[in-house]
Structure 1
Amino acid sequence: MYGREPKLPFNRTTTTFTITTPNDYWIQLNRLMQTYKQVARRNIQLRQQQAKIRYDRNRSDPVYKQNELVLWRKPGRISKFAERYSGPYVIIQEQHPTYIVEDTDTLLRKQVHINDIKPVHERII
């Protein structure tokens, strides 16, 4: 694709790779593959930690208390002009990051994730 041959881990020549019987090749190959898997696993874990740090740096972490009014985001795809949130709901039980909320009109309860709710800012008229 870029006009050159790719460098693969198997293309690297080692100076200590000696084969006396056909079974030795299989043993050496398994050791080499285990080493590559360990390095890849460590690299993935490091990248996951770095991604989490970057994500958490700009993320707000709201905490809601009992009897607080919140709006719940409607699931699924909705049209452009439809309401995205419904409510208000009252928080009944807090189990951060999930909350049990109750509809103020129908008294139906549901468990929602913190990403799907936002606080109600009341206006005094």
Structure 2
Amino acid sequence: MTKELPVLNVEQDKAMRGIARMIDGCTSAHSVWASKGSVIRFRMEGNYFANGRKAANTIPEEDFIKALYLGYTVEEAPEERLLERYRYFRTVSDGIDYADGVADGIKMAAQILGHKVKGVNAQ
């Protein structure tokens, strides 16, 4: 097992934060939520998380264990990546037609796809 932190999507992050809250708030030594080890055992025995923690079921087992013990990073949502690229090209444009064109293209693509991205095509 490498020490590289797993990268989780936004839904998996929400699920893992929910699991952490359950562990932190558990007062029964006999609960699934009693410890990180008992949560891992629950998962490894083929059980599944429900409700707001369902997305944790999609995390590979090794990454799940790493996420609980070492932490993880969260991938940017597509809207965040669009905003980052849009801002980058608006910043470097300074009269450069190519950069202006790329930024305008990002804005147009978001509009065509019906996505409202704060800072690109929405307030």
Indicate the TM-score class for this superposition, using the shorter chain for normalisation.
Answer: under 0.3
Of structures 1 and 2, the one with the larger relative CO (CA 8 A, separation 6+) is 2
- Whichever structure has more helix as a proportion of its residues is 2
Q: TM-score, with normalisation over the residues of structure 1?
A: 0.24
Flag the structure with larger Rg.
Answer: 1
- Whichever structure has more strand as a proportion of its residues is 1
